Structure 1
Amino acid sequence: MKTTKKHTIKNTIILSTILLLGLGCIVKKDKEAAVSLKEAFKDKFHIGAALSANHINNQSQPSMGVLNTHFNSIVAENNMKSGMIQLREGEFNFDMADKFIAYGEANDMHIVGHTLIWHSQAPRWFFTDNDGNQVTPEVLTQRMKDHIHTVVGRYKGKVKGWDVVNEAILDDGSWRKSKFYEILGEDFMKLAFQFAHEADPDAELYYNDFSMANPGKREGVVKMVKNLQAQGIKIDGIGMQGHIGLEYPTIDEFEKSILAYSDLGVTVMITELDLSVLPSPRRDMGADVATNVEYQQSLNPYTDGLPDDVQKKFDERYMAFFKLFLDHHDKISRVTLWGINDGDSWKNGWPVRGRTDYPLLFNRDNTPKSVVNDIIELAAKY
C-alpha cells in the first residue's frame, strides 16, 4: 500500500499519543508510590493502624502492604491485653505479642502497647482468691505489679509508649466502678503508672479513653491527671479514642478537649480512629464494648455500598477532623486508625452484630478511598 503524507502524519500522531499515555501511566504510578499518608504527616505526627490477630498471623496478606506503605506506627488491637497474655495467674502467653513486636521492629514501626490495665478484658482471677472471694487491696496491688513488670519489662526499649490504663472515667467525669476501683479506689491509677515506669523508665505512659470530647469526661480526666502530677507520677500523654460518627462529636468540643489535655503539659494522641456511617441506636454511644443491640434491618442500610450523599458526608467529616488535627499538630504526636481496611473494623459487629460499616480510609479490597488523596493534599498545605 502506498504511504501518503497524510498517513505518515496520522501514524506519527497515534505513536506520540501512545507514548504520552504510557509516560502518563508511569508518572501516575510513580506518584502513587511516592505519596503516602506517613510521608504527608512525617513532620506533623505518627500515623498508625491497629493490627488484629489475623494481621499478625498472616503477614503476607495484601492489607499489610497498605500498612507498610501508608503507616509508621502500630498497636495491637487485642493481643496485648491482660486477658490475652495472662489468662491464668502466672501463666504468660507471649506468642502473639512477640510476633507483633517482631513485625514492628522488622519494619521500623513506632510501637504502642495496648493496654496494661482495663476492666473489660481483665481475667477474673485478678480479683478473686481460690475460693472465689474478692481479694484484698494488698493482693490486687501485687498482681498488678507482677503483671505490669513482666509485660513491660519483656518489651523494654521496644515499645515506645504504653496505654497504661484504659477507660476508667465515665462520661459524667466520675470514676468507673470497676473491680480495680472497688478494691483499690483511685490509687489503682497511680499504682499502674508507677509500676509501668519502674519496669521501663524510658517508655512513654498514656491514659486512653473514649468519648473524650464529652465535657463531663474532659473535666474528670483533667482532674485525674492533675492529681497524678501532684503526686509526682509520670504520665506523658492522653489518648482520645476517635470512635466518631457523622453527627457526633462536634468539632468544637473535640478541639476544646485537645486544648484542655495539652494544657496539662502532656502530648495528645488520637487513638482508635474510625468513622461509622451507620445509624446509632442512641446518640453518642462512645465505645463501651459491653453495649449490645439486637439486629434490626433499619440499622444496616448500606449492605451494597454507600449512596453518593452518604459518601460525601463521610469524606467531609474525615477532612474536617484531619484539618483539626493538622491545626493542632504541635500538640498531637500520633493519629491511629483502628484497623487497616473496612473489613477489619470492629464496627461491623458493634454495637449491632452483622452490620456492614465503612469506617476506615481503605476499602475492603485495600484500595484507598478518594478522601485519602484529599487528606494528603491537605497535609501539604501545613
Structure 2
Amino acid sequence: MVFLSGSTQPANDSLRFFAQKRGIGIGAAVAIRPLRKDSSYRTVLAREFNMLTPENVMKFKPIHPERDRYDFVAPDTLVDFAKRHDMQVRGHTLVWYQSEPDWLTANKWTREELMTILREHINTVVSHYRGQLVAWDMMNEAIADNASLRDTIWLKTIGQDYIELAFRWAHEADPKVRLFYNDYDSEGLGAKSDAIYALVKDLRQRDVPIHGVGLQMHVSINNPPNPEDVAANIKRLNDLGLEVQITEMDVRIGSGTENLEQRLAQQAAVYRNMMRVCLEAENCTAFVVWGLSDRHSWIPSHYNQPDLPLIFDKSFRPKPAYEALIEELQRM
C-alpha cells in the first residue's frame, strides 16, 4: 500500500508528515457527529492523519437499516471529507455480529435466503465505494474469545463457508480494494491469534482473496502487549503473504488523577512500542488510532468509567502518546 501526499502538503511537524516520509498510513477512526459539527475536530483530523476509518456509519445496521433500503448519506460525507484532504479511507466493516439490524435478526431465514442477503449487502456497499477506498475490514471478529468460530447468524444458517463466500463476493465487487480480517485480543501470540492464523492460512491456501489482517489493539497499561510477541505474530502473517495493519488502537489508563503523569507516560510507551514494531515489520502498512480525542472515545461508555485512551486530550492538545509517536516516526 502506497501513501501519497497528494496536493495537500502536511505541516512538517505533524504525524502525517513524518508517517508519509516513512511510507506508512497514520489513521484515526472518525465519528460523524463531531466531523459535521466541530471545526477543531476537522482541523486536527486533516492536519495529523493521512487515513481515516468510519467508526460506525459503514456498519451493517446504519448503512442497511431496512431490507430494501441503504443509507449512504453519512458515510458519503466522511469519504468526501477524505477526498478533499487527500486522505485514504479504510472501510469498516462489512460483516460483524454486533451491528445487525432488527429486520435481519428477527426473521428465520433459509441458507439460500441468507446467502442472498449477505451477497446483496456486500455487493451493494462495496460497489458503491468501488475505487474510493484502499481497504475494507471485510470480516470483523469472527473468532470468539475461546478461539472457536463465533456463533453468529451467518455461521448457524450458512455454515463456516460464509467467511470464504464473503471475501469472494467483496473481491468481485471491487477487485482492487484490499480485504482484511480484523479482530481484537489477537495482537500477540496465544490461542486466539493462533486460531486467526489458522483461519487466514486456510483461506490463503485455497486462493481466497484475503490481503491482510487487522490487529485492533484495544489495550491497557495494566496488561500491555509484548512487543516481541506482536512482532512474531506479524512475521508469521508476513510469511503467508499477508499485510498487517494496526486498526483500532487505544490504550486505557484507568480513571482518577492519582499518578496521572506516570500513567500517561506508560500509555505513551505502549503507543511507542507498537509503532516501533509496525515500522520494523516489512508488512505493517498502517497504524490507526480508534478516535481522535479523549472527548470522543468509546471507552468510557463501554467500560462505564472515565478514561483517557487516545493521543489528543479533550481539548485536542497533544498528549505524551502523540509525542512518542512523532519521535518514533522520526527515529531511523
1:152 aligns with 2:122: no
> Map of 1:248-259 to 2, 5 A cutoff?
248-259=224-235
Pick from 235, 238, 243: which aligns with 2:218? 243
Pick from 178, 185, 204: which aligns with 2:152? 178
Pick from 146, 162, 165: which aligns with 2:139? 165
> Map of 1:61-210 to 2, 5 A cutoff?
61-127=39-105, 132=107, 134-210=108-184
1:232 aligns with 2:207: yes
- For 1:33 and 1:306, the matched residues in 2 are separated by 33
Matching residue of 2:5: none
Measured at CA, do residues 305 and 45 of structure 1 come closer, stay the same or move farther in structure 2, by a change above 3 Å?
A: farther
> Map of 1:1-382 to 2, 5 A cutoff?
33-42=11-20, 43-58=22-37, 60-127=38-105, 132=107, 134-212=108-186, 213-246=188-221, 247-278=223-254, 301-302=255-256, 304=257, 307-328=260-281, 330-351=282-303, 353=304, 355-382=305-332
What do residues 297-322 of structure 1 show as CA deviations (whole Å, max 9, x unaligned)?
A: xxxx41x5862222222222222222
Give the AA of the match of 1:361: I
Measured at CA, do residues 88 and 214 of structure 1 come closer, stay the same or move farther in structure 2, by a change above 3 Å?
A: farther
Matching residue of 1:6: none
Give the AA of the match of 1:205: L
- Structure 1 residue matching 2:137: 3-state secondary structure: strand
Structure 1 residue 270: Cα displacement:
0.1
- Structure 2 residue matching 1:349: 3-state secondary structure: helix
Measured at CA, do residues 371 and 117 of structure 1 come closer, stay the same or move farther in structure 2, by a change above 3 Å?
A: closer
Structure 1 residue 259: Cα displacement:
1.5
- For 1:123 and 1:375, the matched residues in 2 are separated by 38
Give 4+ residue runs of structure 1 displaced > 4 Å after superposition: none
TM value normalised by structure 1: 0.80
Task: Give 5+ residue unaligned stretches, structure 2.
Answer: 1-9
- For 2:259 and 2:133, the matched residues in 1 are separated by 38
Matching residue of 1:5: none
- Structure 1 residue matching 2:271: 3-state secondary structure: helix
Structure 1 residue 113: Cα displacement:
0.6
- Matched pairs, number: 320
- For 1:361 and 1:110, the matched residues in 2 are separated by 20
TM value normalised by structure 2: 0.91
Structure 1 residue 91: Cα displacement:
1.0
What do residues 208-253 of structure 1 show as CA deviations (whole Å, max 9, x unaligned)?
A: 0001125111111111112212322111110000101112332232
State, as a whole percentage, how many aligned pairs show the same letter: 30
Structure of higher CA gyration radius: 1
Matching residue of 2:6: none
